[in-house]
Amino acid sequence: MKNTQKHTQGPWTANLNGFARDNQNNAQWTAGPLCQCLVIIPNRNTSKETEANAHLIAAAPDLLQVTKDFLLLAALHDWEGAAIDFAKATLAKAEGVK
């Protein structure tokens, strides 16, 4: 499968950056290499939810790759079904295909 990657190359990590920048004084998380993303949604989530979001964002490049690998395997074995359709839709969403 041709690499059409436009996002920042992984691996990404999630790290507590130690600064509180919102009015709730919540811990702030960064995700990605060299702070590609500051994870904070003030007045909407908890510190634990912010941490969980940072870890999910950090896993994104790996989740994208495993989805591509799964679809390649599915194509090799002529697999069909709801899981394949969902993986294709997820990949299109991740790649910004409409």
* Tally of structural domains, the chain: 1
- Residue 28 domain flag: yes
* 18-43 tens-digit pLDDT: 555 555 555 666 676 665 666 666 55
Q: How far is residue 97 from each of residues 24, 35, 45, 88, measured CA to CA in Å?
A: 37, 26, 29, 11
With 0-12 / 13-18 / 19 or more C-beta atoms within 10 angstroms meaning exposed / middle / buried, residue 37 is middle
- Residue 8 domain flag: no
Res 87: pLDDT = 97
- Residue 5 domain flag: no
- Residue 45 domain flag: yes
* 37-89 tens-digit pLDDT: 666 665 566 677 778 888 888 888 899 999 999 999 999 999 999 999 999 99
- Residue 30 domain flag: yes
Res 1: pLDDT = 42
Task: Tell me if 51 sits within 8 A of 27, measured CB to CB.
Answer: yes
